Structure 1
């Protein structure tokens, strides 16, 4: 009777012992590439990016010759206006005139100035938004770190469309409204 008890106890313990062996986790720990792990393999030469905007620039000076890949449509300008009012108006003013309570203290420039509108390229404006300047913080992704106030690449280009194609119209409308009052 005693031998039967030992055999029965051993038989009951076998599944538990089998689960402790290394082969019980082979499917989970097999060689594979997990998402977001390791270095990204570079794209083959002459490959065509799909749904992306090239933005590999080192600093704002390198961004100067970049062309805006997003057409300045009314929809893009409206989206840029919304983002401008959220992120930029605190320092540059609602119409970009540099007339906010903060702008005098920090030296924010007037974006509706003829120098900005005529001489600064869209790439330079995008680079300034991305990397910041002497006083202005970066709203891009500097050195691979992402902050809570960062705009993605497309959003930055929408802001550029607004600054270059919609800001002057909004400033003129605000000036006419203020003069009429």
Structure 2
């Protein structure tokens, strides 16, 4: 009987040990939790400093594709922009759209809908800049479309414009429509 009592006590001992005060020390420490004010009299998230400014190129709020169509490309389609766009395209777009941009990437072939052919050699989307301005391509990258996810969290606004310049100049072999050209 003593052996049975000892065995039960040893089996239950860890259960009782969890009730000791030291088992909760990490949770109840003095610290500031995320979005918690340091001032108990003014609870809530701390305000941004009065003269703070958002970092340029980090975010662009796009309501929908119609609003995006009206956006002008602020990045000149020079060699540096196209080179940056090529590098980013190869990282983010090639899996679905393929290296050539024809929608034949390794991942794209497994999707229920074939990714858009981004080249000028297709009948479905002729990529006329009046129907599909640079802002539209930017908006699709920002918001996503059908099975394409949004890349707004992965690419900064500036990086997305570089990709637009690469698609326009290299894949579609035409001029990217810059802000100056759109305003004429």
Shorter-chain TM-score bucket reads: 0.5 to 0.7
Match of 1:72 among 71, 77, 81: 77
Report the counterpart of residue 178 of structure 2 in structure 1: none
2:144 is the alignment partner of 1:132 = yes
2:39 is the alignment partner of 1:38 = no
Report the counterpart of residue 68 of structure 2 in structure 1: 63
Residue 42 of structure 1: CA displacement? Answer: 10
Deviations 1:122-159 (A, max 9, x none): 00100100111110010004xxxxxxxx1011000000
Q: Given that residues 62 and 142 in structure 2 are in contact (C-alpha distance below 8 angstroms), is that contact kept between their aligned partners in structure 1?
A: no
Q: Given that residues 79 and 158 in structure 1 are in contact (C-alpha distance below 8 angstroms), is that contact kept between their aligned partners in structure 2?
A: yes
Residue 101 of structure 1: CA displacement? Answer: 2.8
Report the counterpart of residue 161 of structure 1 in structure 2: 165
Matches within 5 A, 1:145-156: 150-156=154-160
Match of 1:120 among 132, 137, 160: 132
Alignment CA distance shift 1:40-1:95 (3 Å):
farther
Q: What is the count of residue pairs matched by the alignment?
A: 124
2:120 is the alignment partner of 1:110 = no
Q: Given that residues 103 and 109 in structure 1 are in contact (C-alpha distance below 8 angstroms), is that contact kept between their aligned partners in structure 2?
A: no
Q: Given that residues 91 and 108 in structure 1 are in contact (C-alpha distance below 8 angstroms), is that contact kept between their aligned partners in structure 2?
A: yes
Deviations 1:46-89 (A, max 9, x none): xxx99835833212331111010000001100100000000000
Alignment CA distance shift 1:87-1:71 (3 Å):
same
Question: TM-score, normalised to structure 1's length?
Answer: 0.58
In our comparison, the structure showing a higher alpha carbon Rg is 1
- SS of 2:77's equivalent? coil
Gaps of 5+ in 2: 1-37, 40-44, 174-184
- SS of 2:127's equivalent? helix
RMSD of Structure 2 on Structure 1 (CA): 3.0
Question: TM-score, normalised to structure 2's length?
Answer: 0.58
